[in-house]
Amino acid sequence: MFPKSKRPISVVTGGAGFLGSHLTDRLLAEGHRVIAIDNLITGNTANIEHLAGNEDYKFIKHDVSNYIFVPGEVNHVFHFASPASPIDYLKFPIPTLKVGALGTHNTLGLAKDKKATFIIASTSECYGDPLIHPQREDYWGNVNPVGPRGCYDEAKRFAEAMTRAYHRYHAVDTHIVRIFNTYGPRMRLEDGRVVPAFIAQALRNEPLTVFGDGSQTRSFCYVSDLIDGIFKLSMTDYHEPVNIGNPREMTIKQFGEEIRRIIGTNSELEYRPLPVDDPKVRQPDITLAKKLLGWEPKVAFEEGIVRTIDYFRSRVT
């Protein structure tokens, strides 16, 4: 795939997605050569068009729920392929389950075969609608396995279990990152998550859709901070799950008011029924990440949200 060299080769599944494309940029900046794999079910080639012609980058259109063939040496496998927003995994429940189960099995098999390190993008959704706040890595969660969100939550929980099994049984060098709400450029405008939804609605002077009474909380991490934590975790010898996210918590209503203020819109808040199993609170305990990685978020909320708004301005019609 690449000429022989001492530089590391990383495979990134979901490489044309929001997080996968930013991770690819970071790996290239760190001197890695990158093989990105994506079936483009939710990924977008616009996220990687700036890499066209880069000799250190290869793109393969492929569904990793099927057998993966990558010739030559591989040093790191980052499994980031999965629908990740409620709109996506409610539209594609079976592909979501398959990429969490079969895709994780296949990418772990690739890492085992290549003697590569493995990093799984897990999620705060493993905690479900939590009964402990903030959420620590030793909390087992409160998840409805047969609810509408179960296809995503249980796919990720299974992926974590499979990852730990490959470490215990096959001695694969595995890492698990539990990702909390992340935002930034390259998010899909219509992916249903609150950041692009509120920004798009505010830029169009439309009502901001708030589900429930807006008292549910989220903690928003800017994408460059998240990727920094993931990269640092991938270089450790730690194998248990690690939360990566920004502990700055706010209600959805407060977030909507901030978007209105920063954009300067007259959009009102429009309240609708809360979806089934929607988490009431979400805040990462990042004590472990601070101790293990020396990591904590650096980008202030207003700085990150202004960058994100600027990205969306030219894309909102």
The verdict on whether 183 is a catalytic residue reads no
CA distances from 31 to 2, 8, 17, 47 (A): 14, 7, 21, 20
Which of these is catalytic: 152, 166, 183, 222? 152
Q: Which residue, chain included where needed, has tokens 């990042």?
A: 286
**106 vs 170: CA distance, rounded Å:** 14
Residue 80 shares a structural domain with residue 136: yes
Tell me how many domains the chain contains.
Answer: 2
Domain match, 34 and 87 both = yes
Residue 277 lies in a domain: yes
Q: Residue 58: give the domain boundaries.
A: 9-183+221-247+284-299
265, 116: one domain: no
Say whether both 75 and 199 belong to one domain.
Answer: no
Co-location of 154 and 204 in the same domain = no
The answer on 62 and 175 residing in a single domain is yes
Q: Please give the model's pTM, rounded to 2 decimal places.
A: 0.97
Q: Are residues 165 and 254 in the same domain?
A: no
Whether 270 maps to a domain, the answer reads yes
Q: What is the pLDDT along the chain (317 residues), one digit of tens a residue?
A: 788 888 999 999 999 999 999 999 999 999 999 999 999 999 999 999 999 999 999 999 999 999 999 999 999 999 999 999 989 999 999 999 999 999 999 999 999 999 999 999 999 999 999 999 999 999 999 999 999 999 999 999 999 999 999 999 999 999 999 999 999 999 998 888 999 999 999 999 999 999 999 999 999 999 999 999 999 999 999 999 999 999 999 999 999 999 999 999 999 999 999 888 889 999 999 999 999 999 999 999 999 999 999 999 988 87
Q: Tell whether 78 is covered by a domain.
A: yes
* 203 and 141 within one domain: no
| One domain for residues 90 and 227 | yes
**Residue 4 within any structural domain of the chain:** no
**Same domain for 67 and 211:** no
